[in-house]
Structures are given as C-alpha cells and as structure tokens.
A and B are shown apart, each in its own frame.
Chain A
C-alpha cells in the first residue's frame, strides 16, 4: 500500500517537534535577554561563540545523566540516585589504589561502579517489586554514605593527566566533554528509536500489562534500564572528576532533580511511554543557559532557582494543555 507513506506522520511526532521548536524559541529569548542586559559582551562574536561552548561544557555531565534518566522515565520508572551514584563512582575511581591502574583502570572502575549500583536499583525494582521512588531513594542515601566512607570525607585529587585533560582539550574546536555528550546522546537516540531495546522501553512504559501479554520480559528489561542509567552516571563521574581534577562524596548534589526536570521540560511523560532524547537535551541546555545568564548578569542564585522552578511548572502546564487540545479534536 503506497498511500500509507503519503499520509501525514502521526501527531505524536508533530507534538514532539512543535515542543522542541518552542524550546529552541525559549533559548533564543534567553539569548536576547542576555544581549539586552550585557550588550557590551554580546556584541563580541568571539565571546558569544566562546560563551556558547562554556554553556555546552557546563551541560555535558548533566546531559549524559539525563540520557539515562530519559530511558528510565519512558520505561515507567524514576531514578533518584543518579547524583549519589556519580559521587560514588567518582570517589571509587580516584582512590590511590585505583589511580595506580592509570586512566583506563579509573574509567573502567567508574563505569563498573555505575552499572553495578544501577543493577542493584534495577533488581530491587524489577524483582524485589519495590516502588522505584523508594528503591532509588534508598540507593541515594546508601551510595552517598559509601562514598563518604571510601573517601574518608576528604576531597580526592586526581593526578591523572589524561582524565584531567578531558575538560581542557578540544576536538576540532569543540571541548572534549561536549564531544562525549554528543556521542552519548547520539547513541541514546539510536538506542531509543532504532533498536528493539528502545521499542521495549516505550512499550513497557506505555502499557506494562500489554507488553507482558505480548511476551516481553518486562522484569529483565526494567532491570537493564536502571543499569543503563547507572552506566550514564559512571560516564558523568569521569567527566566531573576531569572538570574538578578531584572527587568528593558531596559531588553532583541534586543532579537527580536537574536531570528529571530537563527530561520533563523536554516532553518526557512522567507516567512513562513517551519522550525524546532531543527534547531532553534541549531541556538540559535551557537550564545551563539560565545559569550562565545569571552569572553574566551577576544576579543571585536564589532568583535563578526560582526561575528554574517556574520553567518546570510552565513546561508541565503546556504539556497538559496540548493533551487537552488534542483530545478535543
């Protein structure tokens, strides 16, 4: 049947694109506001390019975490432990013992710790039937505790030149951390939209019972989703270590809230079954841009947090409005 191809794509895709365009509009507005506040800086093209790269560099670690978070939320769950897992993976990979294995050993350690802790989350949720909110909240507390114990509450300096260099080098003019984010987000997009893993994620989040009765192993898949989120935390831990040239148990505080907020602003349905990687990534950049704007304008961070809170509310209200309009037609 050839007609199937000539008909308009489903509205779901349209909605996602309208939404992403609206978010780009928000970015433009933020840019204009910045130009109005500091015309002196924004008139310098080199500064603008450089500042944009600063914003993206700032988005890199949280962006990687948001990719994993987007998968978990689309699959019908939530992961509150991401900030704590980054801290745990960070300190574990920068102990004196681990550093003796060189950059390879440190990266392997960070990823393994992330995946391992994520698997624990996944097993608790999928096989222990714990509510994701509770399981990952418990992991948040426990992982921070373990991180504090491992580090002895001390900041651990990373002496590894390769790792520290990630935040200070560029590939084709783009900061290496931003390249890592682009690669992770690109892989995430392919995983969500082009693989059976992604299809299962959407099916389970959209209707777990239907997925189960279609023969999909929803427990194993749910477990893997949390492991994926843990893997993203491990990658982010290496990135943060590189930025700070150190790790500590208090690192990545409240990252879980930023990642969840970015996913939701990007159009991910908190009840599961719907969301896009592109939307989540724009959500991350919107948040970083606001932080950047407040720094440039020398405004207090309290106001900044109030603005962020307001944006989350507006994003969800817009989402509900879209649904209501769609139901009426």
Chain B
C-alpha cells in the first residue's frame, strides 16, 4: 500500500500484492463460542470462506446468525475459538478494526446517514483530507469511479442519501465497502428491502465482485436466491453449525430444511380441546400497499388462528391494520358484525392487541403494574371522570392472580417484572376490558422457556372462556403447537391455509422460504 493519498479506491479487487487468489481460504472460524448473560448464542461454530465465492449462511431466527455476523464485524469478541483472517489469527477489538482489515458488513437496516451526500457516506470516517480540510473534489471523483464500477455511474455522488431508494442506499453501502478495499463483504438479508427486478441487479453486482476475488457472505431466507447466487452453504441451528460447505445448487431443499429444524428447545403445549363457537372476526381482501395484499381470514370464538411467516412477510403490519392502528388501502375488517375503522372502534367492539414491541408499544414502564393493567379500563372503573384507584387495584389483583403474575404485587413498577410477566400484564389489560378477540404479535419474544409454557396455558384458558385468538409468531413450532388453524404468509400474501394437524414444521418452513412446494419441483408429502 502506498502511503499518503488513498490508492485509487477504484480498484475493486484491491489487485496485486495482498490480493488473495481466487479459491484460497481467506476466513476460517473454528469452535467459536459466545455467551451473553443467561444465553448461549453460539456454542461451536465453524465457517470457511474462500476468496471469490458467495458463501451462504442459513438458519432460523435465533439460530445465531446475527451474533456470528457481529463477531466478524468486530462488534462482539468470541469467548472461545479462533478466527483466522488471511492466514493469521485475528481479534478485532472494534468495528473499525474489522473494516480496516478488509471485512465490510452491510446490515439489513442500512447504516447510512440520511442527510449526508452519497460521497460523504461512502467516505464517512476516512475522508480524503489535507491539513484537516476534506478534499471534496477527490472524494466525489473516487465515489463516482466506484459507482461506475458497480454499474451505477448515473448516481450523482453529491445527491442526498435520503432521496435514494432502498436499492440505491444498498449500492452506497457497497460502495463504502469497496472504498475500504474490502476483501469480504457480509450481506445480511440484502434482498429483503428490494423489489424483484432490483434483486437481479444485486446479483449482477455480486457476480462482478466475486469475479474480482472478493468473497461474499450472503444471508437470506429465500432458498431460490441461495440456489441462484450461492456457491456453498453453511447451516446454523441453535448456535451450532449443523452442516458446513454444502454445495448451494445441488443440495436438496429437504436436506437444507431438516438441518435447520429439530431444535433442542422443548416446546410444551398443554393439551386442549377446542370448542369453536360463532364467528367473531371476518377480514376480507385487506390490502396495504407494499405491506400485504388481499388477505382474507376469519376467527371464531374459542379458536386459535396462527399466522406463520418471516420477519418482513407483512404479518405484524397485518395485525396492526386489523386492530385499526394502520389504515387499510383496501378491504374490510368486521368484528361482531360491525365494520372496524380506527383503534377506538376496535377496542369498543372487543378487539385487543398485545403488540410485538412490548416495551415501546404496550407498557408504561415508569408506572405500576395495576395502572398498566387498567390502561384501557380506568375510565369505566371510575365514576364521572374520576378514577377509582381502590377498584383498579382490586380488579388488577384479581386478574394478576388469575394469570399468576409473579411477584403478585400490582403496585410494583412494571419494569421490575420479567419479560413473561410483563406479557401477562399486557394480556391482563385486555382480559379486564372484556376483550372477545385477542391479537397476539410474537407473544413469547424475550420470554424464557419456563414462562413460555405458562403463557401457552394462559392462552388456552382464555379460549376456554370463549375468547378468540389471532396469533403471529416467527417460531414455527409455536404456531403449529398453539393454533387450531394455520395461515402461512410470505411476502405479504397468505399462501396456504390448513388445520395445524395437517402441517409439519418442515412443510411450513418450506413454504415460508421457498414459496410453494409444488412450484419448487420438490417432492411433496
């Protein structure tokens, strides 16, 4: 490397001297272990990446992909095991060290500064400078050169990043990686934010990069993409590598899926006899542009309907729209024979929701348990505009006992409770309000295994009293174990509806990842 001026960042390959030959192993992880307080995130991970290959990383939510990426990006340090980079052991103390060493990461939520220009983002933190002044001309020229190499010379380096589409922002992230002479680029679900034709362009760029010897770690849930762009696949399951270096194009879907499933976490679902009553909720052709399309479903009294789908499949948006918190572009929501528009109408007609982000969407963390429980009912529990704290305490305590909230002290601040108990508080809120239909978005997120079983029991008990439940979860076994009927959602559409007993975990994973078993040409059950 010559000193002083940055070498024309134009050279995509970082060609010459240090440039690894195509096919050489540039990254090797052995027995990597990472624990966080109370959680083993990674317990023995192997990974081998060669120069010029697209190495795909596959695994369910919670399998440890994010932790692994963060170790490679220098955000976390591994507790045990070795990371070898370009032939020598390394330990990146911080993200900058990893970037300087040539490992660039493009996160799903693109980490760009919206109010800076394209060029300023590309060279953020390593601006070409002279005597403390940024050399804007040089920065723009080099950015233009990199963008041209990426096939997008038409993007003006002076443009504000805010004005770019997601695809454009992704290009800027890639240009930033190249400005650092990256030899390995990690892409975390890059296609999730792209439209279909933009994915093709992304693949063209990836091929161009790999042709110049740059390696790519590609993370995606979509098997067809892995088949199209990938060279080799490593599968993670429960923090371990369950398969390494499978050929991306020829490994059977069935094998890939089975490597990802059969997890060790015990899901204990108490037995339950569903007594399904009259129709409560009817959703017809509900549509919100770019989020979900033409969704129709019904939920009956005493019934649990589960929606299986990945993050980004539109499931949370669907739930919020049914609840009236988002405005539908088309379609209707009818609850108990009344058309629902807006949250107030939804609550009045017996709908309740436990949202995905408990802390930011449901709880008043600085307030005691009972005030969180009576958040929808404090008006009706009081008289003439005055609150009745005595009645509130009594009602909250009754529900807390019923749901076995621990500790059983409704005057405690809600943020001193565990995740599972906080979730009970949110469910209890709707129970107090006499809710007939409960919308549950990821009810067991951040809840430990023991408390999960209790929450499942709570949900069962509710249905026994005639409450209907519409449930969303990214954990397929949870949906299958809890629900009577399962809707599989992918890219904003319901692609399959079936009784839970007729589906297996593999079936559902196949559907959410690869579309339809039939169109995929695989053998069906």
Which residues of chain A are near B347, meaning CB under 8 Å?
Answer: 214-215
Q: Is A116 in the interface zone, CB < 8 Å from B? A: no
The residues of B that contact A194 with a CB separation of less than 8 Å are 386-387
- B386 in contact with A207 (CB, 8 Å): no
In the bound assembly, the distance between CA atoms of A273 and B366 in angstroms comes to 8
Whether a CB of chain B sits under 8 angstroms from the CB of A209 is: yes
- Per-residue interface assignment for chain A, residues 3 to 16, with 1 indicating a CB less than 8 Å from any chain B CB and 0 otherwise: 11001011110000
B343 and A212 contacting across the interface, CB-CB below 8 Å: yes
User: Are A7's CB and B411's CB within 8 A?
Assistant: yes
Residue of B nearest to A197 (CB): B385
Asked whether any CB of chain B lies closer than 8 Å to the CB of A28, the reply is no
Determine whether the beta carbon of A214 is less than 8 Å from that of B376.
Answer: yes
Contact B429 A209 (CB under 8 A): no
- Which of B347, B367, B382, B387 has most chain A Cβ within 10 Å? B367
* Residue-wise interface mask of B (392-406) relative to A, using a CB-CB cutoff of 8 A (1 in contact, 0 not): 010001000100000
Smallest Cβ-Cβ distance to B382: which chain A residue: A196
Minimum CB–CB distance for A138 against chain B, Å? 24
Residue of B nearest to A209 (CB): B361
A residues near B385, Cβ cutoff 8 Å: 195-197
Q: How far is the CB of A325 from chain B (nearest CB, A)?
A: 15
Asked if B323 and A213 sit within 8 Å, CB to CB, the answer is yes
Q: Which residues of A contact B368 (CB under 8 A)?
A: 10, 12
Known A-B contacts A1-B408, A207-B363, A274-B366; the reply to A215 vs B348 at CB < 8 A is yes
* A-B contacts at CB below 8 angstroms, number: 89
Interface residues in A182-197 by Cβ distance below 8 A to B read 194-197
- Interface majority SS (helix, strand, loop, mixed), chain A: helix
Within 8 A of B (CB), among A204-252: 206-207, 209-217
Enumerate chain A residues within 8 angstroms of B136, measured Cβ to Cβ: none
Least distance between B311 CB and chain A CB atoms (Å): 19
Write the chain A residue with the least CB distance to B360: A209
- The answer for the CA separation of A198 and B387 in the assembled complex, in Å, is 9
Q: List A contacts of B364 (CB < 8 A).
A: 202-203, 206-207, 210, 273
How far, in whole Å, are A11 and B355 apart by their CA atoms in the complex?
27
B405 to chain A, nearest CB (A): 11
Chain B residues near A274: list those with CB within 8 A.
366
Per-residue contact bits, chain A 161-195, to B (CB 8 Å; 1 contact, 0 not): 00000000000000000000000000000000011
Q: Is the CB–CB distance between B397 and A12 below 8 Å?
A: no
Residue of A nearest to B323 (CB): A213
Taking a contact as CB atoms under 8 Å apart, the answer to whether A213 and B355 are in contact is: yes
Interface residues of B in 183-223 (CB under 8 A from A): none
B12 to chain A, nearest CB (A): 44
Query: Are A196 and B346 within 8 A (Cβ)?
Result: no
Bound-complex Cα distance A4 to B368 (A): 12
Assess whether B361 is in contact with A202, with CB atoms less than 8 Å apart.
Answer: no
Give every chain A residue within 8 A of B412 (Cβ-Cβ): 7, 10
Query: Chain B contacts of A38 at CB under 8 A?
Result: none
Tell yes or no: A199 within 8 A of B by CB.
yes
Q: Report yes or no: B362 in contact with A210, Cβ–Cβ below 8 A.
A: yes
Q: Once bound together, how far apart are the Cα atoms of A214 and B425, in whole Å? A: 13
A255 to B413 alpha-carbon distance, docked (Å): 35
- Known: A4-B393, A206-B364, A209-B360. Is A195-B387 also a contact (CB below 8 A)? yes
Q: Does the CB pair B353–A196 fall under 8 Å?
A: no
Instruction: Say how far A199's CB is from chain B's closest CB, in angstroms.
Output: 5
User: Closest CB of chain A to B340's CB: distance in Å?
Assistant: 12
Chain A 77-104, CB-CB to B under 8 Å as 1, else 0, gives 0000000000000000000000000000
Give Cα A205–Cα B367 distance, bound, in whole angstroms: 12
- Inter-chain contact A213/B362, CB cutoff 8 Å: yes
> In the complex, which residues 407-433 of chain B have their Cβ closer than 8 Å to any Cβ of chain A?
408-413, 429
- Mark contacts of B335-349 with chain A using CB atoms, 8 A cut-off: 1 yes-contact digit, 0 otherwise: 000000001101110
Residues of A within 8 A of B375 (CB): 203, 210-211, 214, 216
Q: B residues touching A (Cβ–Cβ < 8 Å)? A: 323, 325, 343-344, 346-348, 353, 355, 360-368, 371, 375-376, 378-379, 382, 385-387, 393, 397, 401, 408-413, 429
* A-B contact sample (16 more), CB < 8 A, given A210-B364, A215-B344: A1-B401, A4-B397, A10-B413, A195-B382, A195-B386, A206-B365, A207-B361, A207-B362, A207-B363, A210-B362, A211-B375, A212-B325, A215-B347, A215-B376, A273-B364, A273-B366
29 residue pairs A–B, Cβ–Cβ below 8 Å: A1-B397, A4-B397, A4-B411, A10-B411, A12-B368, A195-B385, A196-B378, A196-B379, A196-B382, A196-B385, A203-B364, A203-B367, A207-B360, A207-B361, A209-B361, A210-B364, A210-B375, A212-B325, A214-B375, A214-B429, A215-B343, A215-B344, A215-B346, A215-B347, A215-B348, A215-B376, A216-B375, A217-B344, A274-B366
